[in-house]
Structure 1
Amino acid sequence: TGLPKTSETVKKATRKLVQAYMQRYNLQQQQQQGQKYNQGSSEENNRQRTSSEEDYSEQAKNANTQTGDIIVIDLGSELNTFKRIALLDTETTGEKLGKWIVQLTQELQLPHETIHLIGQNIGAHVAGAGANEFTRLTGHKLRRVTGLDPSNIVAKGRNSLVGLARGDAEFVDAIHTSSYGMGTPIRSGDVDFYPNGPAAGVPGADNVVEATMRATRYFAESVRPGNERSFPAVPANSLKQYKQNDGFGKRAYMGIDAAYDIEGDYILQVNPKSPFGRNTP
């Protein structure tokens, strides 16, 4: 998280994202248990059944090793004012995050290719710095970093590069929902998505906090099973160009299902209220 959790808008959006991942992982567990059951049924005539306790243990073991875990770093609890956000040293904070990820992968024997960092607003830059530090310490890149409305950030020294950027991980994507509010219109990843274009505000957001948290709401919606491709986008530099082309072009999907080989700026239109995706079932 990257904004003060005293805001009900921030708490609600973050809760939606965590709930979406829990729903996704629970479904994966159910599917794996179903596959295990079907496999056991087909082999029933070829071998003697084990006890129900042994079957359950095997199912639980398979389910727990093939879904995922969610770790929430509540940076927003320390950033209780917008002044503290502005003064946050993202590089130093990111270095601490990177060192912790190295420790995590070593102690749990966790493949670094499975790690996906997601950062809100200024937390996006902390995630990028953390991924960079991980690479510096290990020589390996994390699989993905996603920035949810990355904030505008100022370099603290001449010729210094700070902030989320392509190259921080094998794949970096960003969703910009308040480009001229709490966010930035500047490209932050391999691919940058601009709902409603970089110059216009997102529909239905009444203030800058709600606008910046729409990126989290959109991503959360895409995480929910069945909604992975609810946000189709096409390459464009503005909403005007998008409309001139009637939304036609090489399609990509904003959110969890973004293809790792896409690059550039993508525009899409969204609904003013949930469900936000135009392709939502």
Structure 2
Amino acid sequence: MHKAIKNKSRLLCGLKNAKADLTTAKFILYYGPTVADSDIYDLKDHKSLLEDENLDLSRNTVLYLHGYLEDPDVESIHVIAEAYLERKDTNLIVLDWGELADGNYIFDAMVNAKQLAPELAKVLLEMFDHGLDIEKLHIVGHSMGGQLAGNIGREIYKRTKGVRKIKRISALDPAFPLYYPLGAHLTSNDAEFVDVIHTDAWLYGAPTSTGTADFWPNGGNSLQPGCPKRNYKMLSDNDLSSHRRSWWFWAESVSDRFPIRFDAVPCRSWSDFKQNKTVETCPPVVMGHHCPTSIQGNFYLQTNGQTPFARGKEGTIYVDPKELLENTHGYSCEPRHSIKPV
């Protein structure tokens, strides 16, 4: 468990500080074949990153932003990195803002993220001027990282007076507390296309549609299939299980190891999905990495309770969750190793 979570009572009471020192943020370029194979750069040294022999500027580039209380040593980063390393068409750069994402949620991490966004926007604009193709950049963020992604996209659009706009932002259960309903949260205007995966709505994750296309697997809230009952201990593994499902789903969608994808159908609500009432003007789509960027609206699906999570076409027809439970051999509350089936 991350060391910061062990001190969660101090964190939430504001007794531990993580004041903004933006120089602690780093870019990590993962080039494989394992997650140990990576190069690290200071934000101010982004020109050296662009000259790294392991960065192929002809490919698409993903910038991944982790969430609150996370750093490159946590499971989510390893799972995401391993998934992208299986692909041969994408560069993966992870922003390590672990020291800034620590401390009190309200007075440290949120404040730090707000200060970090303009700096990252400035750095990315300089990178665009030195060879990074904005048309091939895709920002993916989990939890507070999803909100940070939106803030970066907003800043780039603002600083260029609307001339430049990020092509795509994907937010994985973007953080809810204090961002909604009145906070400066992720919106569909932050990139040309913003897709959102909701897995813990109203608790740790965003409770409302907040992107161009919003996906609501299993209704989009807790408990996600296969997750243990909440123990109501804030930031514990049990409590975070549904929130974490978003990046498990994303990693599986990135990996071409699994032939079955996260098929989803357009519906006005989870209730309509359960009654097979779809919006006929929009065809079925897929959630995750392969999501088409021409769609908009709300999409629903069901998943399995363990890897592989995707159910393909079967996931677009509602079945009683008890049947899913019977078919997944008792579920593991979390997949145990990377994106490999358990």
Task: Tell me the TM-score range normalised by the shorter chain.
Answer: 0.7 to 0.9
How far the C-alpha of 1:204 sits from its partner, in A, is 1.2
Aligned to 1:111: 133
Aligned to 1:70: 92
Confirm or deny: 8 A CA contact 2:142 2:172 kept in the other structure: yes
Compared with structure 1, are the counterparts of its residues 275 and 81 closer, same or farther at alpha carbon in structure 2 (3 Å cutoff)? farther
| 1:142-171 alpha-carbon deviations (Å, 9 max, x no partner) | 110010001115369xx9761110011110
| 1:112-159 alpha-carbon deviations (Å, 9 max, x no partner) | 100000111011111111111112233211110010001115369xx9
Alpha-carbon distance in structure 2 between the residues aligned to 1:208 and 1:84: 19
Confirm or deny: 8 A CA contact 1:134 1:140 kept in the other structure: yes
**4+ residue stretches of structure 1 with deviation over 6 A?**
none
Aligned to 1:169: 191
Q: Does 1:3 align with 2:68?
A: yes
Greater per-residue helix proportion: 1
Paired letter, 1:203: P
| 1:72-105 alpha-carbon deviations (Å, 9 max, x no partner) | 0123443234536875134332111111111222
Alpha-carbon distance in structure 2 between the residues aligned to 1:269 and 1:77: 36
| 1:249-280 alpha-carbon deviations (Å, 9 max, x no partner) | 62011001111111111111011111110129
Compared with structure 1, are the counterparts of its residues 126 and 244 closer, same or farther at alpha carbon in structure 2 (3 Å cutoff)? same
Q: Please, which runs of 5 or more residues in structure 2 have no aligned partner?
A: 1-65, 229-237, 314-340
Aligned to 1:35: none
Q: Please, which runs of 5 or more residues in structure 1 have no aligned partner?
A: 26-66
Aligned to 2:312: 279
Q: Which one has the largest radius of gyration?
A: 1
Aligned to 1:214: 245
Higher relative contact order, chain-length normalized (CA < 8 Å, sep 6+): 1
Confirm or deny: 8 A CA contact 1:222 1:228 kept in the other structure: no
Alpha-carbon distance in structure 2 between the residues aligned to 1:273 and 1:247: 26
The alignment partner of 2:93 has SS state of coil
Confirm or deny: 8 A CA contact 1:6 1:80 kept in the other structure: no
Compared with structure 1, are the counterparts of its residues 7 and 71 closer, same or farther at alpha carbon in structure 2 (3 Å cutoff)? closer
Aligned to 2:79: 16
The alignment partner of 1:132 has SS state of helix
Confirm or deny: 8 A CA contact 1:146 1:174 kept in the other structure: yes
Alpha-carbon distance in structure 2 between the residues aligned to 1:229 and 1:97: 36
Aligned to 1:195: 217
Aligned to 1:93: 116
RMSD: 2.9
How far the C-alpha of 1:237 sits from its partner, in A, is 3.5
How many residues were matched structurally? 235
Compared with structure 1, are the counterparts of its residues 101 and 175 closer, same or farther at alpha carbon in structure 2 (3 Å cutoff)? same
The alignment partner of 1:19 has SS state of helix
| 1:146-200 alpha-carbon deviations (Å, 9 max, x no partner) | 10001115369xx976111001111000001100221122111000001111455
Specify which of 146, 165, 190 is matched with residue 124 of structure 1. Answer: 146
Alpha-carbon distance in structure 2 between the residues aligned to 1:205 and 1:243: 21
Alpha-carbon distance in structure 2 between the residues aligned to 1:140 and 1:200: 37
Specify which of 156, 179, 204 is matched with residue 134 of structure 1. Answer: 156
The alignment partner of 1:124 has SS state of helix
